[in-house]
Amino acid sequence: MFNSYLMSFLKYIKFRFAVLLVVIFIGGIPLIKSLFAEHAQTKTDTLLIRLKQIYVTQPDEAVRLAKNYLISNQHINPEIKIRLSIYLGADYYYLGKPDSSLMYLDTALNLSNKINNQRLLANSYNAQAIIHIHLGNYEKALRMNKSACNLYRQLNDTMAMVNSLKGIANTFLRMDHNDSAIYYNIQTLTILGKKIDTTGLNYKAGLMMNIGSLLDKHQFNNILRYYLNAEQLFVKTGNEKELARLYNNIGSLYYDMGKTDTALSYLSKSVSLKKLNRLKRNLSSSLLLMGDCYKRLGKPDMAKQYFKEAYKTAGQVEDNYYLTLSTVSITQIYLEEQKTDSARYYLTKLNTQKANIESLFLKTEINRIKSKYYLQTNNYRKAFQYYRLYKVFSDSLSDIKMAKATLELEKKYQTELKEKKNQQLQNQLLIKQHKEKQQKLYLIILVSGSIILIMVVLLLIKLLNTRSKSIQWLKQLRKTEMEKARLEKLEHEQRMASEKTIRKLQEEKHRQEIELSNRKLATLAMQIMNKNEILREIEVKLNTPNGKNNLRNINNLIKTSFNFDKNWEMLKRHFEKVHPGFFTSLKKRHPNLTDYDLRLAAYLKIHLTTKEIAQIINVTPAAINKSRQRLRKKMNLSGDVDFGEYFNAIC
């Protein structure tokens, strides 16, 4: 009996224990799941934090961590996958693999669209815009940034929207569209509004400084207004590094305005802040500008001191551009002081630096200063050689500036066209979307009515599709015609440009031919002068007592050789071939000129010196000077009018 009770009790205990285990097991599953989920979330958060820390400095390690996580977690949250894809896109860009970068960013973009997450979609657009800017795909970058900006506006995220607008402004700046860059910087400034936190104030000050630097150089008051407002904000936030840059810009502006003392005051502040914050790389530009200020004020020793400090600083940070520019400035000031030995020392430095010079402006300045040095040391051959190089680089620099201005106008025109086209497309898209909504509404009403109405609706849709295709065909035809007209216009412009180039070449050839002929005339005149000189020496020798007794007939023959009228007739024939109509035009303007005056005018036109003319005509230089004065009086020319320029204007 007892055994049967015991067995019954044990069975009851086993049953209750089994039920208890089942309850514990069932209740523990969610707990276990939550524990695993919490662990996975912690692991993911740790990874994202780590990636944020190293994706710029250690892109290789960041790629390894992100890829390993994706491989080991096939079914992860789409949002996590999007974030990892954005990091991978950035990492591959820093590794110099733009194709892989864009592949992961496209994945992030598609996934964001799929799950309809606006913030991640905006972040994906923003990341792609940064890559496209660095790749030079500016149109794509603009589209991406504008899409990101619109999404951030919908999310009411002011700072994210500000970053996107800043990206748009930087893109336009890369495209040399300064007006558009200024517009978006001002728009960004407006959006920031009354933000008074340190980040917001620094943002505003930076934007004001950017706008000031982008404005046209002649808008001094506007530029200064933006700079001074930026100064107040940088002082308020204590941002000394940006304040140093700003003071340099203000000093440069006052220098351009001719207010040298004020410029020096701001440049001195900039130099002090740069030294205080150890901004050596940016220090040379301010020091050079201070040297220019002291040079303008007539203080060459002070100018030299700052030029040398700029030279030393640029050398320490291996800034070849400012190292070369400061060397040129020091050489220039030594040449002005007639200290050719010191100038030669720095000129030698230029020869060792020029291997690293790519700037066309620096090449122009180097050849200019070398030409000036060799001219001062009477080495005319080298002076002329470097002067020719200086002119070549100077002309190239002017051509590049002109081409850049033309290209900027063309880009502005093309951008306006594209913006208009994009606006039209957006309007068409809105109209289409509106129509689609109406069609859906009609479809619901018609379906709820009857099958017959459904058939009518289907027929209507078919008709609308046919009409849409017709409209698209007409649009395509119109687009083709517009493209054809554009190509014809472009071909016409290219043809006109080619004709203009040919005309310039022909004019240059004609000018060179005239210069060559002038040189021939000068050579002929010099030959006549040399002949007269030789004959004069022979005459002197023959006028000795012995020569007179023996060679009287030869002396008479030599005297007849001094007949410069014959020499003049020969020179005159050559002159009229080179400058046809010169004597006629000159005589018509000044009828009172004698033949002697016309001869003198011809010699002056081919740029002969007073001494050379005196030797040709066989008179003293003083007599030629008097003849020049009489000629100037006859022609009613003031003393500041150059004969050569006046005669060149006649023919």
pLDDT digits (tens, 9 = 90+) for 538-577: 666 666 666 555 566 556 555 545 554 566 777 788 788 8
Confidence band, pLDDT 50/70/90 cuts, at residue 11: very low
CB atoms within 10 A of CB 438: 10
- In Å, how far from its chain's centre is CA 9? 96
**CB 242 within 8 Å of CB 206:** yes
How far does Cα 451 stand from its chain's mean position? 67
Q: Is residue 287 within 8 Å of 314, Cβ to Cβ?
A: no
The more confidently predicted of residues 416 and 567 is: 567
DSSP E strands in 359-453: the ranges are: none
The 10s digit of each residue's pLDDT in 440-458 is 777 777 777 778 878 888 8
- Could you tell me if residue 427 is left (phi over 0), alpha (psi between -120 and 50 degrees) or otherwise beta? alpha
Cα distance between residue 413 and residue 424, in whole Å: 17
- What element of type H or E holds 575? helix 564-578
Return the minimum-mean-pLDDT range out of 155-164, 511-520, 616-625: 511-520
Contact 64, 51 (CB under 8 A): no
> Please, are residues 209 and 227 in contact by the beta-carbon 8 Å criterion?
yes
Task: Indicate whether 162 pLDDT > 60.
Answer: yes
Q: What is the pLDDT of residue 302?
A: 92
* DSSP annotation of 282: G
* Placement of tokens 């990341």 in the chain: 127
The 3-class secondary structure across 310-368, one letter per residue, is: HHHHHHHCCCHHHHHHHHHHHHHHHHHCCCHHHHHHHHHHHHHHHHHCCCHHHHHHHHH
How many Å separate Cα 129 from the centre of its chain? 21
Q: Is the pLDDT of residue 354 over 60?
A: no
Residue 29 has pLDDT above 60, yes or no: no
- Give Cβ neighbours of residue 287 (< 8 Å, ≥ 6 apart): 271, 306, 307, 309, 310, 313, 326
Residue 632: in which H helix or E strand, if any?
Answer: helix 621-634
Q: Name every residue whose Cβ is closer than 8 Å to that of residue 119 and which is 6 or more positions away in sequence.
A: 151, 155, 157
State mean pLDDT over 174-189. 83
At 195, list the tokens.
């933000």
Lowest mean pLDDT among 92-101, 209-218, 434-443: 434-443
Instruction: Say what the pTM is.
Output: 0.48
Q: Token pair of 115, please?
A: 């799950």
pLDDT value for 638: 87
Cα-based angle 182, 185, 190 (whole degrees, multiple of 5): 125
CA 267 to chain centre: 24
pLDDT band at 515 (very low <50, low <70, confident <90, very high): low
Per the model's pLDDT, the better-predicted residue between 555 and 301 turns out to be 301
* Cα atoms in the Cβ-side hemisphere of radius 13 Å centred on 72: 9
Average the pLDDT over each of 150-154, 425-429, 599-603 and give the range with the smallest value. 425-429
CB neighbour list of residue 174: distance below 8 Å, 6 or more residues apart: 133, 136, 138
- Amino acid present at 139: E
Tokens at residue 367, please?
Answer: 């050849």
Relative orientation angle of helices 220-237 and 198-214, to the nearest 10 degrees: 160
Residue with tokens 């599953």: 29
For 431, the token pair is 């109209």
